[in-house]
Amino acid sequence: MWEYTDKVKEHFLNPHNVGEIENPDGIAEVGSLACGDALKLTFKLDENKRIKDAKFKTFGCASAIASSSALTEIIKGMTVDEALKVSNQDIAQYLGGLPDEKMHCSVMGKQALEKAVENYRGAPALEEGAKIICECFGVTDKEIERAIRENNLSTVEDVTNYTKAGGGCGGCHDAIAQIIDRVKAEPKTDSKPKLTNIQKIRLIEETIEREIRPSLKQDGGDIEIIDIIGNRVIVATRGACATCKASDITLKNFVEYRLKELVSPDIIVEEAAK
Amino acid sequence: MKTIYLDNNATTQVAEDVLDVMMPYFRDLYGNPSSMHTFGGQVGQKIRQAREQVASLLGALPEEIVFTSCGTESDNSAIRSALITRSDKKHIVISRVEHPAIRTLCSHLGMQGYKITELSVDKNGILDLENLEKSMTPDTAIVSLMWGNNETGVIFPVEEAAGMAHEKGILFHTDAVQAIGKIPINMKNNVIDMLSISGHKLHAPKGIGVLYIRRGTKFSPFLIGGHQEKERRGGTENTPSIIGLGKACELAARNMEKENTYVKRLRDKLEHELLKRIPQSRVNGDIGNRLPNTTNISFEYVEGEAILLLMNELGICASSGSACTSGSLQPSHVLRAMGVPFTMAHGSIRFSLSVNNTEEEIDFVIEKMPAIIERLRGMSPFWNAKEQACSKQ
């Protein structure tokens, strides 16, 4: 039997905010029957753009129901931006902790929240550049990366406990292990010291070499750094990228995104004039 | 709060008569049956008697009974012995719905170079003997098929299967842990070479099991040590438990009829009423060919662990084949092998009764279950969608 905290039991036996809001401002469904848990989240904002009401419907075990209940309680009264800062750890902590094997329930809450906010903002539901790693449970590389970063995970088993990835056929265990290695190799963003200009330029070069060019090359493309002026990184596209109509999307959503993440949030990527 | 225990395939209560015969062997008669003095020797006599009691339930010879520590040890001993005594053969045939004691062992053996064939079952959990026929090769050392399934209660035609294996000179083992005491078993009427029993499924304590080894079957021990059990299982005998198991087997023979009348009637009532009162529910497993105490019911669109925990609030104990109860992320291998849809498998509950259950308990469960399922369906995002879809039609 799982050792659930009293708080989990309380939120499972008497869940708060069960139901569905009519004409919600944000709505999301995550999970599926096949996975064994699924969550439908709806929320409504007040005139000050704060979350006035949030409701859920959940198919799942006690911790999935309790996590959903906790999530709706936590985000009430928050702005959308504040709500987005709620992590799966916050949900688990609110419940006094969850068994390791059940952490994916709190991650599901986090995913539903993100998708509901995306829905509210009219953004695409699919994460840009995300690739399904675990076919059994439909978990993407981005989701796995984020779970590893936010929860400091170090084994495939941890990743499975937190995201369900790798819990089915096991065919993606190697891919998950590679993602763990990759994330672990990242410089720690939290304790990032202020970079000198030279350090920043080096870090940009390294990041492009290590993180960006290998991915582009897989698709027959490539980029080259032309210049770095302050936070502006000017690059030229090569190979398939040079003729690709979507190359500016790649530069923004992949190259710039990674550099913002790994070097500095102020980085802007621009394409050199052809 | 009163406990209503409907999880007897997980474990059973030690019968009072069983505990009574055991007690002196903890406290006063603690001698070692191998000792030369009467103090120990008298315990040896009681073990002989227990061996006869077990043999009698099985229609076996006392010398064919080897006491082990549990069903898992019996299963491991049987398979490993077959691989040692037939060391030139590298193939094992089992089914996809075997207990982990067999399946996990075989997947380990698979990593050590043995070839494992897992026979499939149909949607009712029934084995196709033609597939067994086709699966056996000159390289097959042993076929191991369970007698009664722990999750669904479905009974395999193991006596017939054993005959087929023997025709090809292949050893046959059955895990009869769930079947023993619930359906009549007579080893004189079949050619099964080895059979596993677990005490705690039979109102004896945990930590005691039996491996039946047919006379003349070559055997290589798993636990190697002293001369106990005619050198077929080393280790000082678990004397109180062996004596308790003997008594439990005597009681099981006496209760066999009650299992197939009283218990079966309660099981059928529970099943019938739940299906009637709860929409979108169904039984998993062949209803015409089951152990009399077991029913596995799926409640669609709700999750098993949540059901169990709400039942737990009322003191009702059962188990589930849902993914969440196992700690793995997939629902029960038995239900998956039967092709039970995920929507059904996650919401499966196994009720397993015993002679200790009463009509009042069953009535209480029948009364309480519909509200539990309704409450969870009220929270489920799939249930409403389903209802709406139906009303639109």
Specify whether the CB–CB gap between A113 and A152 falls below 8 A: no
A57, A61, A68, A102, best to mutate vs chain B, most B CBs in 10 Å: A61
A197-271 and A132-185 share a CATH fold: no
d(CA B131, nearest CA chain A) in Å: 25
Report the pLDDT averaged over residues B357-362: 98
Q: Are residues B219 and B284 in the same domain?
A: no
- Which CATH number do you get for residue B52? 3.40.640.10
What is the ipTM score, two decimals? 0.85
Q: Are residues B288 and B237 in the same domain?
A: no
Q: Are residues B227 and B318 in the same domain?
A: no
Domain residues for the domain of B374 are: 4-10+256-392
Asked if the C-beta of A61 comes within 8 angstroms of chain B's C-beta atoms, the answer is: yes
Cβ contact, residue pair A36, B306, below 8 Å = no
| DSSP letter string, B139-153 | TEEEEE--SB-TTT-
Amino acid identity, position B307: I
Q: What are phi and psi of B213, to 5 degrees?
A: -125, 115
Beta bridge partners of B27: none
Is it the case that residue B329 has pLDDT exceeding 70?
no
Please give the pLDDT value at position B324: 66
Q: Are residues B58 and B38 in the same domain?
A: yes
pLDDT digits (tens, 9 = 90+) for B187-218: 999 999 999 999 999 999 999 999 999 999 99
Partners of B375 on chain A (C-beta within 8 Å) are: none
Please give the pLDDT value at position A271: 85
Residue of chain A whose alpha carbon sits nearest to that of B331: A36
Beta bridge partners of A233: A228, A269
Please give the pLDDT value at position A18: 95
Judged by average pLDDT, the poorest of A168-177, B21-30, B332-341 is: A168-177
Cβ contact, residue pair B322, A15, below 8 Å = no
Judged by average pLDDT, the poorest of A214-218, B288-292, B374-378 is: A214-218
Q: What is the CA radius of gyration of chain B?
A: 22
Cβ contact, residue pair A13, B384, below 8 Å = no
Is it the case that residue B167 has pLDDT exceeding 80?
yes
Residue of chain B whose alpha carbon sits nearest to that of A39: B381
Q: Block means of pLDDT (10 residues each) for chain A, length 274 residues?
A: 89 95 92 79 94 94 94 95 93 93 88 91 66 80 89 88 81 89 77 71 86 84 84 85 78 86 86 75
Catalytic residue among B249, B317, B324, B390: B324
d(CA B388, nearest CA chain A) in Å: 14
Cβ contact, residue pair A38, B382, below 8 Å = yes
Q: Which residue of A18, A29, A102 is in closest CB contact with B379? A: A18
Interface of A with B in 29-58 (CB under 8 A): 29, 33-40, 57-58
CA angle A171, A177, A178 (to 5 degrees): 105
Q: Are residues B194 and B54 in the same domain?
A: yes
Q: Are residues B180 and B324 in the same domain?
A: no
Q: What is the CA radius of gyration of chain A?
A: 21
Q: Are residues B263 and B238 in the same domain?
A: no
- Give yes or no: B324 in active site: yes
pLDDT digits (tens, 9 = 90+) for B99-144: 999 999 999 999 999 999 999 999 999 999 999 999 999 999 999 9
Please give the pLDDT value at position A192: 53
Judged by average pLDDT, the poorest of B76-80, B271-275, B326-330, B365-369 is: B326-330
Q: Which residues of A are catalytic?
A: 35, 105
Judged by average pLDDT, the poorest of A169-183, B35-49, B212-226, B322-336 is: B322-336
Q: Which residue has the tokens 């299967």?
A: B161
Q: Are residues B179 and B275 in the same domain?
A: no
d(CA A69, nearest CA chain B) in Å: 11
Q: Are residues B218 and B303 in the same domain?
A: no
Residue of chain A whose alpha carbon sits nearest to that of B377: A59
From A128, A31, A41, A130, select the one nearest A80 (Cα to Cα).
A41
User: Count of domains in chain B?
Assistant: 2
Q: Which residue of A61, A137, A167 is in closest CB contact with B328? A: A167
| DSSP letter string, B202-243 | TTS-SS-EEEEE-TT-----SS--SSHHHHTS-S---HHHHH
Please give the pLDDT value at position A188: 63
Q: Which residue of B306, B328, B378 is in closest CB contact with A60? A: B306
Cβ contact, residue pair B379, A57, below 8 Å = yes
Partners of B331 on chain A (C-beta within 8 Å) are: 36
- Domain extent listing, chain A: 6-121, 132-185, 197-271
What CATH superfamily is the domain A132-185?
BFD-like [2Fe-2S]-binding domain (1.10.10.1100)
Collect all residues with Cβ–Cβ distance below 8 Å to B374 and sequence separation of at least 6.
Answer: none
Cβ contact, residue pair B380, A59, below 8 Å = yes
Is it the case that residue B393 has pLDDT exceeding 50?
no
Q: What is the mean pLDDT of chain B?
A: 94
pLDDT digits (tens, 9 = 90+) for A206-253: 888 888 888 888 888 888 888 888 888 888 888 877 777 778 888 888
Cβ contact, residue pair A64, B303, below 8 Å = yes
Domain boundary among B252, B272, B292: B252
Percent of chain B residues past pLDDT 70, beyond the cut: 96
Which of the four CATH numbers 3.40.980.10, 3.40.50.720, 3.90.1010.10, 3.40.50.10300 does domain A6-121 have? 3.90.1010.10
Q: Are residues B108 and B174 in the same domain?
A: yes
Helix pair B71-85, B100-111: axis angle to 10 deg: 40
- CA–CA distance, B79 with B142 (Å, rounded to integer): 7
Q: Are residues B209 and B295 in the same domain?
A: no
Is it the case that residue B251 has pLDDT exceeding 60?
yes
Q: Which residue of A18, A33, A61 is in closest CB contact with B306? A: A61
Domain boundary among B252, B273, B288: B252
Helix pair B304-313, B359-379: axis angle to 10 deg: 130
* A197-271 belongs to CATH 3.40.50.150: no
d(CA B343, nearest CA chain A) in Å: 6
Please give the pLDDT value at position A91: 94
Domain boundary among B229, B252, B275: B252
Q: Are residues B114 and B261 in the same domain?
A: no
Q: Which residue has the tokens 């799942």?
A: A60
Q: Which residue of A40, A65, A102 is in closest CB contact with B306? A: A65
Partners of A36 on chain B (C-beta within 8 Å) are: 303, 322-324, 329, 331, 342, 346
Partners of A38 on chain B (C-beta within 8 Å) are: 381-382
Is it the case that residue B328 has pLDDT exceeding 90?
no
Is it the case that residue B232 has pLDDT exceeding 90?
yes
